[in-house]
Amino acid sequence: MNQIEVFNETNEKLKEIDELNNLVYFLADYFNLDNITYNVIIVDNETIHKLNKEYRNIDRETDVISFALEDDKTIINDNIRVLGDIYISIDKAKSQTKEYNHSLKRELCFLTTHGFLHLLGYDYMKKEEEKIMFDLQDKILEKYGVSRRRK
């Protein structure tokens, strides 16, 4: 049984939270993962800036940060794989919806999927890794039914 939660740590009421609750379980099913736990935490720019500076030594806000707790895929805590946490800046997500001309729902789904892939060990430090990860993101979002553009 998966234990996955989405937390909104902002003062904003987000109707997209229900969508993210559906997506986080879809992602686990997509990869056939069972007995996993991870969290998605929605924060503001100030909070993500602090996290980015403290843990990545980058002094600015970002859209998403993943803290993968499972580097060697070992099973801990009574056969539950603890993958980690995904932090998403609602402020950056909103600005990126305007920049990319799509819905907040689509942007939050993209950022959640992106962060989840990082929890699973995907990265894009090399060009070939970037292609693999971004192609997979597109495939997952398409299967989930989240289009790139507003219709």
Looking at per-residue pLDDT, the higher value among 140 and 69 belongs to 140
Does residue 70 have a pLDDT over 90? no
Each residue's pLDDT tens digit, 95-129: 999 999 999 999 999 999 999 999 999 998 888 99
pTM of this prediction?
A: 0.91
For 38-68, b/e burial (b = at least 16 CB within 10 A) is bbbbbbbbebbbebbeeeeeeeebbbbbbbb
Most confident of 27-31, 81-85, 146-150: 27-31
Residue-range domains of the chain with CATH: 3-144 (3.40.390.30)
